[in-house]
Structure 1
Amino acid sequence: MARPNPKGPQRKVDIYCARCRTQLFRYRKGGKGALVKCFIERIVEDYTDTPCVCPGCGAEFARQALIRGVPAYKMIGGKVIVK
């Protein structure tokens, strides 16, 4: 399988915790579907202290994984909001 384009798309979205509405990431998202995974190389700004844990409420919102050989966060359904 092909690796994701590291430059990636130009559209940036803000990702928030669904529980406490704390901003987690600013991310370059491609496509118009739901946010299922975040490639770490496409994260523009990271507001978390610990990977995959919300700094506001301490909830786990994702799991670390390798997707197509590239490190990524797989989002847990219903834990994040994209604006």
Structure 2
Amino acid sequence: MAKPNKKLPTRSVDIVCGKCKALLFKYKKGGKGALVKCFKERIVVDYTTSPCTCPSCDIVFAREALVRGTPAYKIIGSKAVLK
């Protein structure tokens, strides 16, 4: 399969915890669909202290995975949402 584009998308979004609304990432999202995965190379600012865990309520909101050969976080349900 093809890798994601090297050129980052122009749209920057905030990703927050679905439970406590704490800020998790500033992310360069491409497209207009739902948040399913976050490529690690597109994360601009990471506010989490440990990977895939909310810093304030300590829920696990994603799993680390390889998507198209690139490291990414796969979001679990609606535990992390766009703002």
| TM-score of the two chains, using structure 2 as the length reference | 0.97
Identity %: 64
Q: Structure 1 residue 6: deviation in Å?
A: 2.5
Deviation at 1:5, TM superposition (A): 1.2
| Structure 1 residue runs of 4 or more that deviate by more than 2 Å after TM superposition | none
RMSD, aligned CA: 0.7
Question: Tell me, which stretches of 5 or more residues in structure 2 are unaligned?
Answer: none
Residue 64 of structure 2 aligns with which residue?
A: 64
Matched to 1:56, the amino acid is S
The corresponding residue for 2:34 is 34
String of CA shifts for 1:1-44, please: whole Å, max 9, x gaps.
11101222110000000111100000000000000000000000
Match of 1:9 in 2: 9
Aligned length: 83
TM-score normalised by L of structure 1: 0.97
Q: Which runs of 5+ in 1 are unaligned?
A: none
In structure 1, C-alpha distance between the alignment counterparts of 2:31 and 2:25, rounded to whole Å? 17
SS at 2:41 equivalent: helix
> Does 1:24 find its partner at 2:17?
no
SS in 2 for 1:58: coil
Would the aligned equivalents of 1:7 and 1:42 in 2 still touch at CA under 8 Å? no
